[in-house]
Each structure stands twice: as structure tokens, then as C-alpha cells.
Structure 1
Amino acid sequence: MGGLLSELGKKLAERWLSLLVLPGALYLAVLGTAALLGHGHAVDPHQLTERISAAAEARAVGTFGGQVVVLGAVLAGSAGAGLAAQALGSLVERICLGAGWRAWPRPLRAPARLRVERRRQRWTTAAQGYHRLLTEARRARGRGERGDPTARWAAHLAMTRVAAELPDRPTWSGDRIHSVSARLERVHRLDLATVWPYLWLILPEPTRAEISAARQSLYRGSTLTAWALLYLPVAGRWWPAALISLTLALAGRSRTRAAADNYALLLEAAARLHGGELALRLGLTSALPGPAAPPGPAVLPGPACPPDDADDVDGTGPTPLTPDVGDALTRALYVPPPAPPPAAD
């Protein structure tokens, strides 16, 4: 038990150091540099060395107690800056994904609606061009011809650069994750928001670990953007901080988009691979329409034996996620809201 607690404490200390202290210490270093140099000597290392040396020769810093106080202040300030960045990162993530933008305050909701409408117009134009080329390619294959697919691939890339499905969020990352729900509803009649909590409980541990890691990567991308916002005010005192803020903002945007794409791919793959298994465990596949089984010899009753594979109860293989399976799962797991109380007489 002592070894387990020691290992757990070590891992917590490593995470605390890597996620809070080190980024916060770098932020405090930039703040100190900005306070010492300002705009006049922004990139003068000699001036910085002289002023740090002068501050280190102070009597309060030269004592052991003063050094302990300084070290404690640096650790506390670094952790505080890291916590502030994580809190701001949660807000940045909500804005970036834009899941509830229709409930945002009016000053934010109006530009979000305008951006969604513009994204829909761009996506519709790109989708029309892609489907026109796709129809032409299908007709050519029907005639036994095969044309150059370069134009069709370029049109598909132009469409997915806006969104994978009809845009419903003000940002690409938000639409990328929303496209999973839209596609599963369109193709499989599956409401992912309703089914996902139950599906998560039956996923294998490696699959859940992959999805959790992708979700954490998405949060870290938003936190990187939050650091960019924290560095931006420092540029008012020290102009190189503007370059740091811009670099972090670009890196945060790139990491957020990549993480959102990976997270969406894993969500859709998990739903497609394990949706049939969930229906099987809930006993819904027996009620689904299917071909009538041929008559066979009578089977005497015997002791029930658990199947070796939950996905292969009748020996026919895993249950595929068809529109009937998706609709059955949604109907079985959807909980309707309570009815309103009767009106008073």
C-alpha cells in the first residue's frame, strides 16, 4: 500500500510540475524580463544581466530566509499562473467548440450566428461542386470510362475544409465534432448524445484510453491558446511578448484542430464498431426486422451456456450498426422530458 501511494504521489508531482509549474515559471520569467527591460532595452541581454545581478545582491535576497521566501513565491506564482491558464483554457475550449452558441449572451450570439450562416453558404457552394463532379464520375463509370479524379478530390477537399457536414457551429473544430452526431443520425439514425453514455460503459479499456487521450489533447490545445491570451497584455510593457503570444496562438489553433479531428474520428469509429454490441447486450437485435430463419429440427431444452463472444451469440458475427439498429438504440435509451404540471383552474 505504501509503494502504491508513493508511486501515485510521484505521478501527481510530475503532472503538477509539467502542467502548472514549468509553464507558469516561464510566464513569470517573461513578466520579470518585461519589468526589468521594457521597450527601451527589449532585446539587450547585457542590460538584463546587470539588472538581475543588482537585484540578486539585495540584502533580503542574500539571506537563507529570503531565498526560501523567493523560491516559495516563484513556485506559488507559477502554480497560480498555470491554474489561471487552465481555467481560461476551459473557457477558450467552450468558445472554440461552440456547442451551446445559441444560448450565448446577445453580444456573442449575433456574430456567431452570422459566422454559421456564412460557413453554410460556403459549404453549400463547395458541396454542390463536389456532388456535380461525383455524379459525372458515376455516369462515366456506367459507360465504362474512368476520368481523372484530381478535380473531384480537390472539390472534396474544398468542402471538408469548411466542414465535414452541413455547418452548425461557428468554428471548424466545433463542426468537426458535431459532424459525428450529424453523420450518425443521417446514415444510421443514431442519436449519439443519447447513446454515448451507455456505449462508453461497454467500450474496451484500450479504446477508452485512446478516446480519453484524444480528449486531453484537445484540452491542451485550448490551454495553449489560453497562454497566448495571458502573454498578450505583457506586450504593452515588452514588445517581444507579442511575438510569443502570436506563436502560441498559432500553435494552439493547429493543435486544437488536429486534436478535434482525431477525437471526432475516434468517436465515430467507436460508435460504428460497438453500436451493434450495445444493441445485442440490451436485447434489441431480436426485435429488429430480418430474413426469416429456415425451419430446422426441434431442439430439446438444455442448460443455458453463456456465449464465448458477446458479439457472436448466434455464430453469425458481430451485429452491424444498421439504420434499424441505430433507431432501436435511440428509441430504447431516449428518456423523454417530464410532462408539465396541469394548469391551475
Structure 2
Amino acid sequence: MIIERLTTPALRLLEGWYWPCFLKPLRHKLVERRKTKLEEQLRRYQELSPAVVAGTASPEERTEHGRLTMLQRRSPSPAPDMPTRIGNTLRAAETRPVDKYGLDVVSVWPHFWLLLPDTARKEIATARVSLDASVTACIWGVLFVLFAPLTLWAVPAGLGVAVVAVVAWVPSRAEVYADLLEAGFDLYRRTLYEQLRWPTPRNPKEERTQGQVLTRYLVRGSDSTIPVWGSDR
């Protein structure tokens, strides 16, 4: 039970939240490093895009273009603001619905979750459980080091599990969870408008504006006479 309670704080720590004050310089350095790296990746992506679109790119260039596309997808907009890969992956899932639809994930999530069909909720919940399990493995790996007085093998075994969890298990499962979270908004955001009797946007530009207004309404309410419930506009 204690380990379960520690899972969420540990995940926040792996994301880059809750770092001690003395680690702030390191956090800032890592964020700036990721911003610089993303800028380089974006320049290379723009260099490759014309040939890829024209169909004249080599197989190696197409492969590199696809890899760069995925890396950009894992970065929050407008630039990385977390010091770790895990943090930026999850932040990207939170910011992309804002960029595309004007919907703030944190603000509308309780309402949105209740409207998801059972299949979608099950898939997202399963992905979250898998993510938490990988974080739990990291915690157990660190705690296993405490058995060092009984056997020195506890140190490399525990640290090995923790490192593998941080480097491989947690990031990969965070990506799955992030993809499903974003897909949920891509597919079912219209249901949120319908259930709130909010006018359905007619185009992407209008949807971004409507999403921002809807988010503010859910957070603070409104005394506006617009929209009129039940009307098309």
C-alpha cells in the first residue's frame, strides 16, 4: 500500500516535477539542452521534407524523416519544458489537445472521462496501470538496495532494475498512455460539446477558439447570453 501511494509522486519526480531547489540549475540546463536538440531536429526535418513529399528521398532519408516526426510528436508545444524524456512525453499529450482543439486536458478531463465509451476508458486505464507498474518496478529496484547488508548483490540487482525501468520501461509505457490520451480527444471531443449543449465548431480554426471558451466555462462558469442552449449557433 505504501508503494502504491508513492507511485504518483515518483512519476512526477521522473517527469521533472518536485525536484529539490539545489537541482534547479540542472533542471534548467537539461530543459535548454532539449530545446536546442529539438531546434536541430526541426531544421533537419525541414531539410528532408521537400524530398520526402516529392518522393525523391532515399530510404535512409525517409527513415530519418519518420524518426524526426515521432521525436517532434513527443515534445510539448511550443518547446520542451521538462528536463526528462518521460516528462516531455506526458506534457506533449497534455498540450496537443490545446494546440489542436483549444481544450485544456487538465481542466476538462473529469468531464471528458465520464463521456468516453467503455472500450476507450478500458484502454486508457490499462495503459495507465501499466505505466504505474513500471514506476513501481523502479521504486522496488531502489528499495532492494537496502538489502546490501545481507548481500552485496542487492546493489547491482536493485540499481539495474531501477535503471532499466527509468530508461526503457517507463518511457515506452508513457508513450502508449500519451498516444491513447491524445487519441481519445481526437475521436470523442465532439461528445463533450453535445453533452454540454455547446455549439459544435464548423472548422479547425473555429474549434480552437470554441475549445478555449468551453474550457473557461467549465473552470469558471459564465454569465454570458451566448451560446443559446439548443440553437445551432
Q: Is residue 266 from structure 1 mapped to residue 187 from structure 2 by the alignment?
A: no
Tell me: CA distance 1:289–1:216, structure 2 relative to 1, closer, same or farther (3 Å): closer
Cα 1:112–1:159 change in 2 (3 A) is farther
- 2:4 and 2:74 mapped to 1: Cα distance? 29
Question: Structure 2, unaligned stretches of length 5 or more?
Answer: 222-233
1:113 is aligned to 2:31:
no
Q: Does 1:164 align with 2:74?
A: yes
Q: Say what the alpha-carbon RMSD is for the aligned residues.
A: 2.6
Higher normalized contact order (CA 8 Å, seq sep 6+, divided by chain length): 2
Kindly indicate whether the alpha-carbon contact (under 8 Å) linking 1:97 and 1:173 is maintained by their aligned counterparts in 2: yes
Residue 149 of structure 1, CA deviation: 4.2
Alpha-carbon separation, structure 1, partners of 2:61 and 2:181 = 30
Deviation at 1:281, TM superposition (A): 2.5
2:103 is equivalent to residue 190 of structure 1? yes
State the 1:184 CA deviation.
2.3
Q: Distance in 2 between matches of 1:266 and 1:330?
A: 22
Which shifted more, 189-198 or 270-279? 189-198
1:285 is paired with a residue whose SS is: coil
Structure 1's 110 and 251: CA in aligned 2 closer, same or farther, altered over 3 A? Answer: same
Change (3 A) 1:237 1:191: same
Matched with 2:52 is 137
Partner of 2:211: 329
Identity of aligned residues (%): 25
* Offset from partner CA, 1:104-157 (integer Å, 9 cap, x none): 44213322121111111112111211121113433xx2xxx5332422422442
Larger displacement relative to structure 2 (112-121 or 322-331): 322-331
Q: Name the counterpart of 1:296.
A: none
- Aligned equivalents of 1:162, 1:270: Cα separation in 2: 20
Deviations 1:73-132 (A, max 9, x none): xxxxxxxxxx4433443332111123x45xx44213322121111111112111211121
CA distance 1:163–1:237, change in 2 (3 Å): farther
Pairing partner for 1:223 from 136, 146, 157: 136
- TM-score normalized by structure 2? 0.80
> Amino acid of the residue matched to residue 92 of structure 1?
A
CA distance in 2, matches of 1:193, 1:223: 24
Determine the C-alpha separation between the residues in 2 that align with 1:280 and 1:84.
41
AA in 2 matched with 1:191: D
Write the distance in 2 (CA, Å) between the matches of 1:127 and 1:232. Answer: 41
Q: Which structure 1 residue ranges, 5 or more long, are not aligned?
A: 1-82, 291-321, 338-345
TM-score (norm 1): 0.56
